[in-house]
Amino acid sequence: MAKDPGRVLIFDTTLRDGEQSPGASLNLEEKLAIAHQLARLGVDVIEAGFPYASQGDFAAVQRIAEQVGGDEGPIICGLARASTGDIKACAEAVSLAPRRRIHTFIATSDIHLEHKLKKTRKEILAIVPDMVQYARSFVEDVEFSCEDAGRSDPEFLYEVIQLAISAGAGTINIPDTVGYTTPSEFGGLIDGINKNVSNINDAVISVHGHNDLGLAVANFLEAVKHGARQLECTINGIGERAGNASLEELVMCLHVRRSYFNPYFGRESDSPTPLTAVRTEEITKASRLVSNLTGMVVQPNKAIVGANAFAHESGIHQDGVLKNRMTYEIIDARTVGLVDNKITLGKLSGRSAVRARLEELGYDLNREDLNEAFARFKDLADRKRDITDRDLEAIVSEQVQQPEARFYLKLVQVSCGSSLKPTATITLADQDGIEQTAVAVGTGPVDAVCRALDALASEPNELVEFSVKSVTEGIDAMGEVTIRLRRDGKLFSGHSADTDVVVAAAQAYVNALNRLVFAEAAKTLHPQMDVVETDSSSRL
């Protein structure tokens, strides 16, 4: 691949780094749904996961490679530490994709070498070319990352990069792993690599960065000015700690300020050619899907996709917008796919009409899931007059969740009031269909529900977050509930929607419990925190 592809490549790592957000773990079906939406969004590369981490992650990457990758689709990428076992597992997982990539990495900062890897610089210089060559024995497209590049000695970094390119890496990624650098520093780092790595023209420079100081997007835009041509980012900016650089913010910055960035690509400032291949009208759908499936609620004032991003409260602003929207809006909401559609579907509508609308919204359900979604749609239509796209999204988001579960919610019954003690009666079924019922009293209806569920499930945990929001306007609106449970320092999220928020809370709690149970059963590795101890064959 040439150094400069003439535009910015968008490398989406929502399914890998984004999933490392506390409590945001995704199952196979959820990952597949997001991957399909990322393909519709038009990203260049999907980092589908860390195949060596677990059997589940391996299977998810393999399914995505088989079903989402294509001759005209995105490159499907897997992450691998610089070890033969990781790389072999990654190669097997992405092998079904027509366009595939192995992304291997090793730390290069002295603090990581001394305290995490327990290796010398000399040892790193020996490992890098060997592992890149090993990856190249499986695929032509290899990306190499210098973990914690932002805190690495530049001279050592140049040496590592030169060896990686000579060994066959076509993309060199420069991560600000801990979100430490400022824009001028990060831009200077990229500039130094361009000037001091003799074979840098044989590779694309990529950047990856975290938002610990709120500078990830600014750092990336500065890197673009100095020659970076691949940006590694996530939907809604989710990821480790404070998250990653936000895909929607980066794409829309390059879209809205194209005339500013064009000269850095050798173009006339007024060139209309887009700087990315992203279909911006798919951004809102992608944001809502990721938020629903991960349980990571988007803050109202989030740029581009927040609920308030296109709202105007000030009278002066409202007056200006009514006269000309450009007075206070630099983005047309329709550009990012934000539309207020109300569909003309009701309780007399057929399955084909519902399926057609779901497909327009980007959901491709199998027969079983469609039947269940249609049944829920009919139930909602009996209780709610106007069905909106957001209602449909809330319904169908649960259809790709929890394909396997230990607990199934069968009954929720609550009594409460000013003179009553909140009391919940809950019936749960297990995998064998055996039902059990418990009654509990709480400080409120939701507390009573959670106490009853805990008594039935017998899975110790701590409830650390309960949030509820209205899907749409009106007294009959569906309520979306997100619950987070903590056990042994790990977070597990559950999400559900219903016109009855207490029922939604019960289902969200059950979803979180199921995630907790299956996560405990699956022993997973963390790509950065778990150090390679052996280069033996793949554990898979």
The residue to which tokens 């009666």 are assigned: 425
Quote the pLDDT of residue 326.
60
Cα 197 to Cα 155: distance, rounded to the nearest angstrom: 10
Quote the pLDDT of residue 321.
44
Cα 97 to Cα 76: distance, rounded to the nearest angstrom: 7
Quote the pLDDT of residue 120.
97
Sign of the alpha-carbon dihedral angle for 70, 71, 73, 75: positive
Quote the pLDDT of residue 538.
44
Quote the pLDDT of residue 353.
80
Beta bridge partners of 414: 424
Burial of 423 (0-12, 13-18, 19+ CB in 10 A): middle
Cα 411 to chain centroid distance, Å, stands at 33
Quote the pLDDT of residue 156.
98
Quote the pLDDT of residue 117.
95
Cα 476 to Cα 486: distance, rounded to the nearest angstrom: 32
Cα 133 to Cα 140: distance, rounded to the nearest angstrom: 10
Cα 353 to Cα 370: distance, rounded to the nearest angstrom: 12
Quote the pLDDT of residue 316.
44
Q: Look at residue 109 and give its three-state secondary structure.
A: coil
Tokens of 383: 């209780």
Question: How many CB atoms are located within 10 Å of the residue 150 CB?
Answer: 25
Quote the pLDDT of residue 263.
97
Tokens of 199: 């074979």
pLDDT tens, N- to C-terminus, the chain (540 residues): 457 789 999 999 999 999 888 878 788 888 998 999 999 999 999 999 999 999 989 999 999 999 997 888 999 999 999 999 999 999 999 999 999 999 999 999 999 999 999 999 999 999 999 999 999 999 999 999 999 999 999 999 999 999 999 999 999 999 999 999 999 999 999 999 999 999 999 999 999 999 999 999 999 999 999 999 999 999 999 999 999 999 999 999 999 999 999 999 999 999 999 999 999 999 999 998 999 888 888 998 999 999 888 775 444 444 544 555 666 578 888 899 887 554 556 666 777 888 887 777 767 777 777 888 888 888 887 877 667 777 787 777 666 555 568 899 999 999 999 889 999 999 999 988 899 999 999 999 999 999 999 999 999 999 998 988 877 666 667 888 989 999 988 888 888 888 889 999 999 999 899 888 877 666 788 888 888 865 544 445
Beta bridge partners of 438: 426
Burial of 191 (0-12, 13-18, 19+ CB in 10 A): middle
Three-state helix/strand/coil letters over 481-497: EEEEEEECCEEEEEEEE
Among residues 171, 309, 330, 328, the alpha carbon closest in space to that of 246 is found at 309
Quote the pLDDT of residue 342.
47
Query: C-alpha distances in angstroms, 320 versus 312, 327, 328, 338?
Result: 10, 6, 7, 21
Cα 343 to Cα 395: distance, rounded to the nearest angstrom: 14
Cα 536 to Cα 540: distance, rounded to the nearest angstrom: 11
Are 463 and 442 spatial neighbours (Cβ–Cβ below 8 Å)? no
Are 238 and 244 spatial neighbours (Cβ–Cβ below 8 Å)? yes
Edge-to-edge, what's the strand order for the sheet holding 462-470? 462-470, 479-487, 490-498
Quote the pLDDT of residue 2.
55
Cα 254 to Cα 261: distance, rounded to the nearest angstrom: 7
Cα 232 to Cα 18: distance, rounded to the nearest angstrom: 11
Give Cβ neighbours of residue 348 (< 8 Å, ≥ 6 apart): none
Among residues 40, 47, 43, 54, the alpha carbon closest in space to that of 15 is found at 47
Cα 514 to Cα 450: distance, rounded to the nearest angstrom: 14
Are 17 and 486 spatial neighbours (Cβ–Cβ below 8 Å)? no
Quote the pLDDT of residue 314.
45
**What domains can you pick out in the chain, each with its CATH number?**
9-294 (3.20.20.70)
Which pairs count as long-range contacts for 271-277, CB under 8 Å and 24+ apart, including other chains? 273/7, 274/7, 275/7, 275/8, 276/7, 276/8, 276/9, 276/10, 276/251, 277/7, 277/10, 277/42, 277/43, 277/44
Query: C-alpha distances in angstroms, 61 versus 5, 41, 49, 103, 425?
Result: 26, 19, 6, 13, 41
Question: How many CB atoms are located within 10 Å of the residue 311 CB?
Answer: 11
Are 471 and 484 spatial neighbours (Cβ–Cβ below 8 Å)? no
Quote the pLDDT of residue 378.
84
Are 46 and 77 spatial neighbours (Cβ–Cβ below 8 Å)? yes
- On the CB side of 509, CA atoms within 13 Å amount to 29
